[in-house]
Structure 1
Amino acid sequence: MKRPPKEEAESARLITRRSMVLGGLQVAAVGALVLRMQDMQLNQSDQYRLLAEENRINIRLIPPTRGLIHDRNGVLIAGNEQNYRIVMVREDAGDVDMVLDRLRKLIVLSEDEIARARRDIMRNRPFVPVTIAERLSWEEVARVASNAPALPGITPEVGLSRHYPLVEDFAHSVGYVGPVSERDLEALEAPDPVLQIPRFQIGKIGVERAQEDRLRGTAGSRRIEVNAVGRVMRELDRVEGQAGANVQLTLDARLQNFVQARLGGESAAAVVMDVHSGDLLAISSAPGYDPNLFVRGISVPDYRTLLDDPYRPLADKTVQGMYPPGSTFKMVTALAALDAGETNANERVFCPGHMDISGHRFHCWRRGGHGRMNMVSALSESCDVYFYEMAQRIGIDRINAMSERLGLGVRYDLPMSAVAAGLNPSREWKQARRGAPWVVGDTINASIGQGFVLTTPLQLAVMTARLATNRAVLPRMIRAVGGQEAAMAEARSLDLRPEWLDLIRRGMSECTNHARGTAYSSRIVQADYRHAGKTGTSQVFSITRAEREAGIRRQEDLPWNRRNHALFVSYAPEDAPRIAVAVVVEHGGGGSSAAAPIGRDIVLAALSEGMPPLAAYPTPQRNRIETQMRELQSRLRPLGDGGSDQA
């Protein structure tokens, strides 16, 4: 049907209008595109050229060489050794499982290593190199290299890895390194980008952790050209990083090795300290462990063995172990009584073997009693009743103040892990922590280093150094960093009267050098090495009535973990002190029998700078000591024959 002319004219007019609008929009769009292209090509050309360049060139970090750790004489404690390793790039490998199966025919790979390799490969981007095996021999690397055509994506590499040539000697103090964990990254506010490098290792405990920022160094960088998927095409340039600073400790590797060997077979700790500078010359916890196992990645069975050992080899007993100091604390009570003016050199206290206080009987360790004791003889023979009497006169406040003055109950700033403050109890502490008031019995127990009092071997060494010098000596373990001598804190005077300290020192001297002294069997007869000390025995469990009725009356009859701790402290030489020594033997029984002989040997090794001289021992003991030292010497480690010192 034919449309009327009027309608056809109207329709044509509408079509023409729409065509003009559409054409106008097209012209506007083309014009906008032209203007935008002109702006991008002319006005923003530099910006887009930079973006294109950044897409083509990547910057990758080069791990820095970790700084070395030496002892005070330059002996290498922690070094770096060449580490041959095999890496895989998933993108180049193609069939990962096939390549791994072929690789296993050339080098030994455990199921755990294969599982870890697969896990790391899938966690990282296809073009990121992943370490499959490390610490390989040159023969293994050569075998892999010669079969390269059959191992796509596999590349042998050589780098540096941490190594501890003296094995367990410095495991607790120096510590070890390990791969960066998520927890490590979360603990840092602004993590160093180098920590993102796969399997990059940082200090985990001890000096390695405390000095991490200095030991780590600064990463280098390399500019590489990559394709669109990120595959490396070529290296354009390289900027080497800065190696970490070397750290020198105050510790003496020879003495540390001797102490560690001497503690062998015990669950024990020993500290040797320079009484003037505060330098720690040895700080040993036994048994030790091999820190190299942690660097390589310790196996579950090996770690479980360490955890299940009742002697707790992973714990650093020198600064983490807190023990009742027993009779080694009696010097604190004696000085507190002198400071309070409650006694003097001539006063004698009668010891019948016990003292009744507030309806409770407190016994002396010698059940028959010591008779009449002055301060010197009470220290020498370790009479408990004498110090019970002093404690009643002066109270806990004065004991607490003198204890702090001598360095107990203080957390020292050392580059070691979990340094404990011990416990120097007070009225306020008991009320706050136990919700109970302080009673006289608490004071009596504290006066002989029992009850709530807890100390670390390090603190006992500090106390002994302060008694020897009358100065507030502070321990230190870092001697120099990057060749720059570390600052040494000035030891202020303790302002203890010389006549008071003379009494204390005479008591300690008679303890080791008088026939009635508790440490007389561990005396030193060579005058220039003679030491002054104090034994201690801290009760862990008391023998129950049922056990006594069953015939168990001696410490030796109890299970090992219920026996008393044995302690000994001393300074030497007696007339011109140079060193202070503290020894704790866990569940060793008696301080005179278990800890004092170890302390004597350590004193002689430190002063003689070698094996203890046989002439320093009493004549009747020399045959036994000679046999003991011959066996001990066979366990000492030759220094300087293990580990590279590459920096």
Structure 2
Amino acid sequence: MAKDEDSSANVTRRGLVLMGAQLALIAGLGWRMRHLQVEEGERYRLLAEENRVNEHLIAPSRGLIFDRQGHLIAVNQQNYRVLMSRERGNPADTLMQLSRIIDLSPERRARILRELYDRRAFQKVTVAEHMSWEDFARVAANSPALPGVETEVGLSRHYPEAGTFAHLVGYVGPVSDYDLSQLENPDPLLREVPDFQIGKNGIERRLEDNLRGSAGISRVEINASGRIIRELERVEGRSGEDLQLTVDSGLQDYAQRRMEGESAATVVMDVQSGDLVAMASAPSFDPNNFVFGISTGDWRALNEDEYRPLYNKAVSGVYPPGSTFKMVVALAAMELGLVNPNETVFCGGSIMVGNRRAHCWRRGGHGHMNLRDSLKSSCDIYYYDIAQRIGIDRISEMANRLGIGIRHDIPLPAVRAGNMPDREWKQRVHGEPWLIGDTVNSGIGQGFMLASPLELCVMTARLATGKAVSPRLVRSVNGVPQPAPEPEDLGFSAAGLAAVRGGMWAVSNDRRGTAYRSRIADPQMVMAGKTGTSQVRRITEAERRTGVFRNEDLPWNRRDHALFVAYAPFDNPRYAIATIVEHGGGGSRAAAPIAQDVMIRALYGPEPPLDAWPSARHQEIRERRRLGLDSASVQRDRA
């Protein structure tokens, strides 16, 4: 009996111990559950939510770019592409599986892997883009078995006019590490959206903030393997702003094709509003090649071409303006009362300046020249003489008033200001005093002087109107017209402007004018102009004794530049033009015929009457039309 009682007591004690242990375990579990649910509940709810829900930035639609007539010159087109992150699975294995569906070389797979491990696990990398629909559909059908792989229909930039607007509109390309390094607080779009495209050149670059827009957000539910189940929420971003330019695509295309085979630039400007209706640089290139990724061979060919197709000569090229600068000197002399239009200077072919002989381009001289005749015949001796009377500082002041040596504010990168030197400039830059020979050289647009075609066009517009016309490139933003301030009067005397304009009229319309063959024959559309030749090399005395070398006998890159500036119609100016042909020789031979044709196209539209040209050019124009050179927009490779 005692033995049974002892056994019962032992069992009871063991039961109590077990029960106590069970209660302790339950209490511990309860405390832990309370800790997880109450004290750390918020943290684990967030972790669970992040496992189930992902947020993605939605790239905005880039703003469109139109010409002044509303024709699209920069658009967005669908881009079928495959993206990948390394949040799920083994990226190397996934890429190997993907290479059995689409073409992915070992080198390409290695590059993608490097990119994946250079970024955070959730950031996506572009595996393939610009895919055919068939390849895209195959990847989409197999994506459930490809961890971290997504298919996406994005947008890519396209330039339907190809090279016509390449220097003006520019192009876009993927964000690079260099791009990011230049920004203090880069937009998250630039880091998180794979291969997001930004402006790399032209208006695309300068107006990037307007064109880019802002990102939207997509919240999606995913499963354990990272497969998207459904979209929970979508907040659309803001599309980029649409831009309408002042440029006319028909005139731009014509100017581009008219300069084919040359290294040249042409700028056409509305003298009343300042609208740039054409700004062409030749040769050009296809900006679409940069959007898709230009090949090494194509890049090398563009960079090694001596005609510099990547260089925007219209705004970045600066050249001695040559005789196109003579109107500046003439107007300065008139405004200062140092000459009158009928006063003559004798040109015997050369004059002594200090201990050096300065020559006129016409070796035998022009005889007695007044202001009108000096412009008509482009007499150098006349301007050697009056430049010395005026002095370089006052010549420089007049040039600045007319837009030379000024960086004009238009939304393009690498817009260069020319150089209009004075005494202080030479002392500061060269550490030397200004010499009388420097003034003489400046009187004919040579020496230290430099001007871009844009500046020469502005100069011509201001001479035509007497107003401070400034160039304008953007006409409207999202349909809202951009203001075009009324230009201020420059305060020139009527007599001074009339004298200079009369000389320019004679250049193009007097039978002895240097551009008479490039006149506009229609009396209602008469053009006033000025030819110019910009020396690339100095003719030595030894060369003069043996006979001056002809430009055509020299290597191309040692020949003189050819220039021409003009405005029309003479009685009611509408357009100003400036054309330069690098190493083209004389302005009357190389630049004036191009400017004549472009100006006629600007004044009359796509089908100018044959009678707008002098009869001597009718056969040439008929032949150009027969060959289609002056009609449909086509792109040709330079020979």
TM-score, normalization by structure 2: 0.88
Find 2:127's aligned residue among 121, 124, 132: 132
**How far 1:388 moved relative to its partner?**
0.6
**How far 1:34 moved relative to its partner?**
12
Residue aligning to 2:395:
399
In structure 2, the residue corresponding to 1:173 is in which secondary structure? helix
**How far 1:342 moved relative to its partner?**
0.7
2: CA distance, partners of 1:547 / 1:445:
19
In structure 1, the residue corresponding to 2:130 is in which secondary structure? strand
Equivalence map 1:396-545=2 (5 Å): 396-543=392-539
2: CA distance, partners of 1:111 / 1:574:
67
Equivalence map 1:140-219=2 (5 Å): 140-145=135-140, 154-196=149-191, 197-219=193-215
Find 1:250's aligned residue among 246, 253, 278: 246
**How far 1:241 moved relative to its partner?**
1.3
**How far 1:406 moved relative to its partner?**
0.4
Residue aligning to 1:643:
none
Q: Tell me, yes or no, if the aligned pair for 1:258 and 1:636 is still in contact at 8 Å.
A: no
Find 1:347's aligned residue among 343, 346, 350: 343
**How far 1:434 moved relative to its partner?**
0.4
1: CA distance, partners of 2:170 / 2:622:
34
TM-score, normalization by structure 1: 0.87
Deviations 1:500-545 (CA, angstroms, capped at 9, x unpaired)? 1111111001000111100011111111222100000000013557
1: CA distance, partners of 2:258 / 2:349:
36
In structure 1, the residue corresponding to 2:60 is in which secondary structure? coil
Cα distance change on mapping 1:274 and 1:145 into 2, 3 Å: same
2: CA distance, partners of 1:392 / 1:283:
36
**How far 1:300 moved relative to its partner?**
1.4
Code of the residue aligned with 2:174 in structure 1: it is: P
In structure 1, the residue corresponding to 2:169 is in which secondary structure? coil
Cα distance change on mapping 1:189 and 1:99 into 2, 3 Å: closer
2: CA distance, partners of 1:514 / 1:166:
40
Residue aligning to 1:6:
none
Code of the residue aligned with 2:112 in structure 1: it is: A
Deviations 1:67-120 (CA, angstroms, capped at 9, x unpaired)? 1000011000100011122334456574636745863x6655577755543433
**How far 1:332 moved relative to its partner?**
0.4
Q: Tell me, yes or no, if the aligned pair for 1:404 and 1:410 is still in contact at 8 Å.
A: yes
2: CA distance, partners of 1:431 / 1:581:
34
Residue aligning to 2:290:
294
Supply the RMSD in Å over aligned alpha carbons: 2.9
2: CA distance, partners of 1:76 / 1:389:
52
Code of the residue aligned with 2:269 in structure 1: it is: M
Q: Tell me, yes or no, if the aligned pair for 1:113 and 1:133 is still in contact at 8 Å.
A: no
Code of the residue aligned with 1:135 in structure 2: it is: H
Q: Tell me, yes or no, if the aligned pair for 2:147 and 2:226 is still in contact at 8 Å.
A: no
Q: Tell me, yes or no, if the aligned pair for 1:261 and 1:635 is still in contact at 8 Å.
A: no
Q: Tell me, yes or no, if the aligned pair for 1:88 and 1:132 is still in contact at 8 Å.
A: yes
Q: Does 1:63 align with 2:59?
A: yes
In structure 1, the residue corresponding to 2:504 is in which secondary structure? helix
Structure 1 unaligned spans of 5+ = 1-32, 640-647
Residue aligning to 1:22:
none
2: CA distance, partners of 1:439 / 1:549:
26
Deviations 1:393-435 (CA, angstroms, capped at 9, x unpaired)? 1100110010001011100111101100110111111111000
1: CA distance, partners of 2:132 / 2:481:
39
**How far 1:605 moved relative to its partner?**
0.5
Greater displacement, 589-598 / 207-216 = 207-216
Cα distance change on mapping 1:49 and 1:610 into 2, 3 Å: same
Q: Tell me, yes or no, if the aligned pair for 1:261 and 1:636 is still in contact at 8 Å.
A: no
**How far 1:614 moved relative to its partner?**
1.6
Deviations 1:106-136 (CA, angstroms, capped at 9, x unpaired)? 6555777555434333433455442222112
Residue aligning to 1:21:
none
2: CA distance, partners of 1:294 / 1:495:
47
Residue aligning to 1:18:
none
1: CA distance, partners of 2:629 / 2:519:
22
In structure 1, the residue corresponding to 2:297 is in which secondary structure? helix
**How far 1:159 moved relative to its partner?**
1.6
1: CA distance, partners of 2:138 / 2:323:
64
Equivalence map 1:551-630=2 (5 Å): 553-630=549-626
In structure 2, the residue corresponding to 1:535 is in which secondary structure? strand
Q: Tell me, yes or no, if the aligned pair for 2:82 and 2:151 is still in contact at 8 Å.
A: yes
Residue aligning to 2:3:
none
Code of the residue aligned with 1:328 in structure 2: it is: T
Find 2:267's aligned residue among 267, 271, 283: 271
Q: Does 1:313 align with 2:271?
A: no
Cα distance change on mapping 1:456 and 1:192 into 2, 3 Å: same
2: CA distance, partners of 1:147 / 1:223:
23
**How far 1:552 moved relative to its partner?**
7.4
Q: Tell me, yes or no, if the aligned pair for 1:127 and 1:230 is still in contact at 8 Å.
A: no
**How far 1:225 moved relative to its partner?**
4.2
Code of the residue aligned with 1:172 in structure 2: it is: H
Code of the residue aligned with 1:269 in structure 2: it is: A
Cα distance change on mapping 1:236 and 1:263 into 2, 3 Å: same
**How far 1:446 moved relative to its partner?**
0.5
Deviations 1:133-188 (CA, angstroms, capped at 9, x unpaired)? 21122233345456668866654432210000000111111111111122222222
Residue aligning to 1:15:
none
Identity between Structure 1 and Structure 2 (%): 56
**How far 1:226 moved relative to its partner?**
5.7
2: CA distance, partners of 1:470 / 1:567:
22
Greater displacement, 608-617 / 469-478 = 608-617
Structure 2 unaligned spans of 5+ = 1-28
Deviations 1:330-352 (CA, angstroms, capped at 9, x unpaired)? 00000111111110011011000
1: CA distance, partners of 2:486 / 2:96:
61
**How far 1:193 moved relative to its partner?**
1.2
2: CA distance, partners of 1:459 / 1:112:
49
Residue aligning to 1:631:
627
2: CA distance, partners of 1:227 / 1:436:
77
Cα distance change on mapping 1:304 and 1:109 into 2, 3 Å: farther
Code of the residue aligned with 1:444 in structure 2: it is: V
Aligned length in residues: 607
Greater displacement, 400-409 / 210-219 = 210-219
In structure 2, the residue corresponding to 1:242 is in which secondary structure? coil
Q: Does 1:80 align with 2:76?
A: yes
2: CA distance, partners of 1:559 / 1:59:
63
**How far 1:238 moved relative to its partner?**
1.2
Find 2:368's aligned residue among 354, 372, 381: 372
**How far 1:198 moved relative to its partner?**
1.7
